[in-house]
Amino acid sequence: MNTIHAHETKKKIIDVARKIFSENGFEGTSIRELAKQAEVNVAAINYHFGSKEQLFFFIIQDAITNLTLSLKLIYENHLLEKTNAEDFFLEVYRYFHKNSSDIVSTMKVLMSVPMTQKSEMRHVKEIEKGPPGTEYFEKVLIKNSPKEISAENLHWATTAIFSHITHKTIIMHTCISEEDKENPDYFCSDLDFENGVRKLIQSIFLFLKQ
């Protein structure tokens, strides 16, 4: 198979699979439907990925890798610009908001993992560690905390921040109309959500001081 053609075919399969898995879940997606929408044959999917299961896990791994790299870049820019912790987490929220379609699709794919496949998920190292990219959350929290943070409190804080930002991203993407977003008096405007992130960070640092 021509190398360029093989690369294009693989990319087409990935793009289609990401969309279908997020819409129909793992169980609701057939390998034949994937092949049909990607305009390839089933043999091509098996050639590149081995099975539907391996393609599914590739989609998850790819999403985790991309998100982790993006958060790493935000963290490195935070160090370069010497911004404070609140500004770092606001930039993370803005990144999530700007890329809300991809974030929501990734969350849908993760939530569609069937119980029979949970054991295989443990082989994805990033998932074992917790939300992707939160090692950079930890670095910022540790650097800006007035006292040493216990492992338990650090895990709680990073998970709380990631969950809050993800939740707000999903709400903004799926539940609020464009008209509402443009209304400055609407209680769930972009500015309101950013203020919510800032207040959360302030509250977490107050807790960590205790």
Confidence grade of residue 154 (pLDDT, cut at 50, 70, 90): very high
Q: Which CATH architecture is the domain 1-50 placed in?
A: Orthogonal Bundle (1.10)
What dihedral do alpha carbons 95, 96, 100, 104 form, nearest 10°?
A: 150
| pLDDT per position as a tens digit, 77-134 | 999 998 899 999 999 999 998 988 888 888 888 777 665 555 555 545 555 566 888 9
**Closest residue by Cα to residue 167 from 140, 138, 139, 196:** 196
The answer on pLDDT for 70 being more than 90 is yes
Rounded to whole angstroms, how far apart are CA atoms 103 and 63? 9
**What pLDDT is stored for residue 141 in this prediction?**
94
**What pLDDT is stored for residue 114 in this prediction?**
62
| Better-scored residue on pLDDT, 124 or 208 | 208
The answer on pLDDT for 2 being more than 60 is no
**What pLDDT is stored for residue 199 in this prediction?**
92
Rounded to whole angstroms, how far apart are CA atoms 158 and 71? 13
The CA-based angle 35-41-45, given to 5 degrees, is 70
**What pLDDT is stored for residue 187 in this prediction?**
53
| pLDDT per position as a tens digit, 182-205 | 655 555 667 778 888 999 999 999
Q: What are phi and psi of 124, to 5 degrees?
A: -90, 105
Rounded to whole angstroms, how far apart are CA atoms 172 and 174? 6
**What pLDDT is stored for residue 89 in this prediction?**
95
**What pLDDT is stored for residue 116 in this prediction?**
54
| pLDDT per position as a tens digit, 9-59 | 898 999 899 889 888 888 888 999 999 999 998 998 999 998 888 898 888
The answer on pLDDT for 146 being more than 60 is yes
**What pLDDT is stored for residue 92 in this prediction?**
95
The answer on pLDDT for 179 being more than 70 is no
pTM: 0.81
